[in-house]
């Protein structure tokens, strides 16, 4: 986990804000300047290494002094080898479509095992990858929309996880257990102030390169 403050956090905030506003997405914390009004943003790597945690989750918010802070974590936004080879859905394995999913997530129980940020409050869109070829197929002709349980959760309960394996069937999954704990403490602070509803934005790496 990287915690970034001061000028560097402001520069990163500006880069993400411009990219998101260009797409018509909301960016929180600009006007009321209240603390912990979090922007939760996944960034899908252009490198796209199969079955590895090669993506990032970035949280941008104001601290209690109303200064910008950025936290960056290693995650995957893509499914792992197990469920790509044996999709749970007959249409194919789920790969979340980039976009902003407003108010779709809440703090809840993931698979009845532990607390995570879960898709409970609305639909998301996923690509359906059905050919089991160890490549992430993102064909717009396969897009499926609904309540699929595309949660934001951890992999192992301790330490780092080297390969995604069975930890993601399309969920956004943390590589490191302590990073996930840090993230959940942060979103709980937000929930205490604004209620248990969260937006999640997924960008492609290339979306940020023009700013």
Buried b (16+ CB within 10 A) or exposed e, 113-132: eeebbbbbbeebbbbbbbee
Geometric angle at alpha carbon 103, from 17 and 33, rounded to 5°? 45
Question: What sections of the chain are H helices per DSSP?
Answer: 6-22, 81-85, 177-194
- Segments forming the whole domain that contains residue 178: 2-208
List, as one string, the DSSP characters of 34-85.
-TT--EEEEEE-SS--TTS--EEEEEEEE-TTS-EEEEEEEEESS--HHHHH
For residue 143, what pLDDT is reported? 98
Q: CA 166 to CA 81: how far, in whole Å?
A: 7
- State how many domains the chain has: 1
For residue 142, what pLDDT is reported? 97
Q: Distances in Å between the alpha carbon of 129 and those of 26, 45, 126, 170?
A: 29, 18, 9, 10
3-state class of 68 per DSSP?
strand
- Low pLDDT (below 50) residues in the chain: 211
- The pTM of this model reads 0.97
For residue 32, what pLDDT is reported? 86
Q: CA 130 to CA 115: how far, in whole Å?
A: 30
For residue 209, what pLDDT is reported? 79
For residue 16, what pLDDT is reported? 98
Residue with tokens 């995650």: 75
Q: CA 155 to CA 205: how far, in whole Å?
A: 23
Check: CB of residue 38 under 8 Å from CB of residue 183.
no
Residue with tokens 């945690």: 53
Q: CA 156 to CA 206: how far, in whole Å?
A: 30
Structure tokens, 8: 């560097």
CB atoms within 10 A of CB 104: 20
Nearest alpha-carbon partner for 156 in 42, 53, 85: 53
Backbone angles phi, psi at 126, to 5 degrees: -135, 145
């Amino acid at each position: 986990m990287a915690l970034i403050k001061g000028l560097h956090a402001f520069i990163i905030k500006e880069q993400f804000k411009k990219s998101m506003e260009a797409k018509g997405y909301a960016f929180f914390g600009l006007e009321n300047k209240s603390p912990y009004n979090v922007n939760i943003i996944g960034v899908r790597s252009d490198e796209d290494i199969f079955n590895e945690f090669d993506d990032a989750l970035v949280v941008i918010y104001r601290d209690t002094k109303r200064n910008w802070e950025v936290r960056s974590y290693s995650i995957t936004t893509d499914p792992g080898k197990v469920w790509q080879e044996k999709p749970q859905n007959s249409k194919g394995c789920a790969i979340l479509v980039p976009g902003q999913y407003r108010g779709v997530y809440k703090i809840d129980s993931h698979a009845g095992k532990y607390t995570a940020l879960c898709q409970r409050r609305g639909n998301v869109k996923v690509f359906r990858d059905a050919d089991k070829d160890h490549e992430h197929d993102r064909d717009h002709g396969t897009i499926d929309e609904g309540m699929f349980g595309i949660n934001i959760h951890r992999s192992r309960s301790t330490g780092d996880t080297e390969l995604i394996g069975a930890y993601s069937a399309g969920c956004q999954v943390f590589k490191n257990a302590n990073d996930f704990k840090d993230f959940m403490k942060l979103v709980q602070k937000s929930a205490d102030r604004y209620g248990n509803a969260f937006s999640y934005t997924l960008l492609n790496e290339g979306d940020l390169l023009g700013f």
